[in-house]
Structure 1
């Protein structure tokens, strides 16, 4: 059973194992979400990518735009994987971005703006594995999206398995999932984090609020909550220090 990570390195190591477990189980649409506002996606990518060097040139890494891809090519000189961009606004070029020899695909920090291109790329990719690293596909700050675009985004997101997820709900609670485990809600009680519930599906905002309000324990055979050190705040402080 995975525990709340103590450091960013712990979280990334957990996420890599979760991804590998999901791939071994035949899941081909995967996302890794570390939802800390201060966290820089390149910091995560630089530590995540070495876990997949075995794929060498068969790994293709996509950034949201050409500028980010160019910076990665400049900074990541000693790499065997390929670097590209999603190509927003250049739909005609999407087909050329996916080649038969490509075996696995990593999309770094894609946003809701790129969903139409992502969906088309995934159609071209077929049943080959796709990993979304720190995506922002449900970014509530994007306004002016029409009904059709919202439905496209909802449909696309529904095809992706969130195999690693960690998000501070507030200063005293967190939502956590590490595949193949269930969704877990952790809450700080008397200076210790307790796992207060396990859920088979990601809770909605209202469901999460109700769980935290009640402080209910998991409805499992073991009714005793898992008591862990108060590590979540340490992780938040670590990320803030890293990003400063």
Structure 2
């Protein structure tokens, strides 16, 4: 058993505010000393509604990121026990009530990197750390990770793409994934592959060449895959990316998921494997469960049908 089977304490977190200020090519962003990732929330969470009889598993909405990571860790362990090979974990990093874009892009990614480190420390036992390979979108980010949040860690850090001479125009150098993988690798974690459209195509290559028909597992962590699911990328211009909804995504289990909806009919779509998909309404400091089902509803269905009618 290469995963921890009992709850463990969170590893000491490297705060963004403790890092040396520097201008960083990683995502062409500037790392600022005074930036801090908010970790504390004051609201109390509760949930109402019937449990899915066929599942019999119920998890409340997390009250903070500490509880979130424990839930995500336990959900992943259950999915691994059920031999799920391709998994997705998705949640906001600028606050549990935030949506993509609420935080500055580079800060959100740094927050994701920090949360990935904590998640890996919870999930992977020390004896298996060297058999866990974490892929970041670009080679520059690997260097940043080693010098900061992943400093001293035994995990193998790697990248999906390399910057090219025309990086400022969105071009990157293709990396052959078969060359990045080592025979001893058992678990791959892919960190936020959404900035460049080519990154998810490389993830598909990784799955096909190094995971499919093997005993290895792959987790996509905060990949914003809803962009592809919702048709954000027009199939006419991005046919390969759009095709992932029919080729790669059906093989994937979403083991942990939070998506917030703002506005008058705001709410949350939530799932913790193996439980049902739930739609919550925020009422003051409480989250009430309005609807649940076993399959993932589309974001359009939640926004236009479920939340307004509740």
Q: Does TM, normalized by the shorter one, top 0.5? A: yes
- Specify the alignment match of 2:257 in structure 1: 165
- Deviation readout 1:185-235 (Å, 9 max, x if unpaired): 0113476421111111111233212111111xxxxxxxxxxxxxxxxxxxx
CA RMSD between the two structures: 2.2
- Specify the alignment match of 1:53 in structure 2: 124
The answer to whether the aligner puts 1:210 opposite 2:305 as a matched pair is yes
The answer to whether the aligner puts 1:133 opposite 2:216 as a matched pair is no
**TM-score normalised to structure 2 length:** 0.64
Tell me by how many angstroms 1:99 deviates. Answer: 1.5
Provide structure 2 residue ranges, at least 5 long, that are not aligned to the other structure: 1-57, 93-97, 163-171
Deviates further, 64-73 or 190-199: 190-199
Task: Measure the CA separation in 2 of the matches of 1:42 and 1:145.
Answer: 33
Could you tell me whether the CA contact under 8 Å between 2:178 and 2:206 is conserved in 1?
A: yes
The answer to whether the aligner puts 1:21 opposite 2:104 as a matched pair is no
Q: In the alignment, which of 142, 152, 160 is matched to residue 78 of structure 1? A: 152
The answer to whether the aligner puts 1:42 opposite 2:127 as a matched pair is no
- Deviation readout 1:160-197 (Å, 9 max, x if unpaired): 21110011112641110000001000113476421111
Cα distance, 1:113–1:91 mapped onto 2, change above 3 Å: closer
Task: Measure the CA separation in 1 of the matches of 2:120 and 2:147.
Answer: 16
> Aligned to 1:174, what secondary structure does the other structure show?
strand
> Aligned to 2:269, what secondary structure does the other structure show?
strand
Task: Measure the CA separation in 1 of the matches of 2:206 and 2:236.
Answer: 21
Could you tell me whether the CA contact under 8 Å between 1:59 and 1:102 is conserved in 2?
A: yes
Tell me by how many angstroms 1:152 deviates. Answer: 2.9
Task: Measure the CA separation in 2 of the matches of 1:103 and 1:205.
Answer: 33
Cα distance, 1:150–1:57 mapped onto 2, change above 3 Å: closer
Which structure is higher in helix share?
Answer: 1
Provide structure 1 residue ranges, at least 5 long, that are not aligned to the other structure: 216-244
Q: How many pairs are equivalent?
A: 215
> Aligned to 1:185, what secondary structure does the other structure show?
strand
